[in-house]
Amino acid sequence: MKIDNALQVRVWRGGKNGYWSEYAVEARDNQTVLDVVTEIQRKFEPSLAYRFACRVGVCGSCAMTVNGQPRWTCRTHVRRVIHDELLTIEPLRNLPRIKDLVCDLEPFIQTWQRAGAIFQGQTTRNDRPQKVNPESSSRKLADSALQCINCAVCYSACDVVYWNRRYIGPAALNRVWTLLNDERHTAQQETFNKAFSRDGCGSCHSHGNCTRYCPVELSPANSIAGLKKLAFISVKNGK
Amino acid sequence: MNEQTLFVVQRISAAILIPFVLVHLGLILVAVEGGLSANEILSRTHGNFIWLLFYGLFVVAAAIHAPIGIRNILREWTKLDWRMINGLAMVLCAILLILGMSAVIAVF
């Protein structure tokens, strides 16, 4: 099929030892990278594996590497990332490749456990929800780190994770920062100790790739800087 | 020593090293002005407690700072386990301390 005004799209097929496949996809005025992937699957390659769910930048499942950079593909317009009329799409970096554009997120999800980024409250379901004063200094500190969509873009963008896969990485450390500024979280010291264990937040080089690529404009780099400052004054119990 | 302590110690030693390195570099520039000779250096350092203290602290700060950094680099760039990495870092610390201190004492 000959298409006028076509985009050249190079897509990764297979797992670790895969190959590139090229497709010509019709260029449209309003077209996201996820639209392009869907079009390829529907028109040319029914067996193409990729992840998506909400298509509106909420669920964080469609992240891929587009022209070498990690992106949420549902909110990335082709015209903003296309280079020399070519679009290359491959799975996220730093995670094992399963098939085509799908990578195994397990190592990424495990970083939450390792970082101690798990909320522990002191109330039960029979108690009333605890109130958090939105004007308190700790709540304000947590503000800029909330609402992560767990897309793994920062984990994929992080060069330290690339060098050392055992490094906890920016997403989980960002979550730790919100917990340490959450007055309801009871395991403050435990969370801090885990986040500052070997291959923890002390390994960060402050490159800032996490912040640069975060699609929802959080700043894991700032959160990690906050954790590093806490290392000096040590963590306050029951903060 | 846990990671948190190592992290803090490395930052503090870095802060100490900044003025030391600047003074050291300045001294090199001044010292070579009229040609450099062993006599000139020794005349400055011989029996001088200020330079003994300055370079003594300089050596200690460097011997603390560098091995912690090397430890991180080895973790990132090699597949060595922590025991090996910590061992190598301690060896580097010992080498820096011995060589540095013997030089400082030799010119005193």
**Neighbour tally for A170: CB within 10 Å:** 33
Q: Specify the pTM.
A: 0.89
**What DSSP string runs through A192-239?**
HHHHTSTTSGGG-----HHHHH-TT---HHHHHHHHHHHHHH-PPTT-
Q: Which residue has the higher pLDDT, A235 or A117?
A: A117
| Contact call for residues A74 and A66 (beta carbons, < 8 A) | no
pLDDT at residue A109 tops 90: yes
Q: Which of residues 141-180 of A touch B (CB under 8 A)?
A: 160, 163-164
Write out pLDDT tens, residues A62-104: 999 999 999 999 999 999 999 888 999 999 999 999 999 999 9
- Which residue has tokens 């000959």? A2
In this complex, the residue of A164, A200, A232 whose CB is nearest that of residue B8 is A232
Is residue A10 within 8 Å of residue A87, measured between CB atoms? yes
Name the strand (E) or helix (H) holding A162. helix A159-163
Residues comprising chain A, all counted: 239
Chain segment B16-69, per-residue pLDDT in tens: 999 999 999 998 888 788 777 888 788 888 888 898 999 999 999 999 999 999
Min CA distance, B13 vs chain A (Å)? 13
Give the start-end residues of each E strand in B1-108: none
Q: Which of A164, A193, A228 is closest, CB to CB, to B76?
A: A164
Residue B95: the pLDDT is 98
Q: Is residue A2 very low, low, confident or very high in pLDDT (cuts 50, 70, 90)?
A: low
**Residue A227: other Cβ atoms inside 10 A:** 23
Q: Which long-range contacts (CB under 8 A, 24 or more apart) does A230-234 make?
A: A230/A180, A230/A192, A231/A196, A231/A202, A231/B4, A231/B7, A231/B8, A232/B8, A232/B11, A234/B4
**C-alpha distance from A234 to closest chain B C-alpha (Å):** 9
First-last CA distance in chain A? 64
Q: Do B72 and A203 touch (CB under 8 A)?
A: yes
Coil vs helix vs strand at A143: helix
The residue behind tokens 């803090």 is B8
User: For B63-108, what is each residue's pLDDT tens digit?
Assistant: 999 999 999 999 999 999 999 999 999 999 999 999 999 999 988 8
Contacts of A199 in chain B (CB under 8 A): 75
| Cα gap B52→B45, rounded to integer Å | 7
Chain B residues close to A189, C-beta within 8 Å? none
- A3 band by pLDDT with thresholds 50, 70 and 90: low
Task: Provide the 10 A C-beta neighbour count for residue A108.
Answer: 22
* pLDDT one-digit tens code per residue, A126-171: 999 899 999 999 999 998 899 999 999 999 999 999 999 999 999 9
Q: How far is CA B83 from CA A44, B65, B74, B80, in A?
A: 53, 19, 12, 8
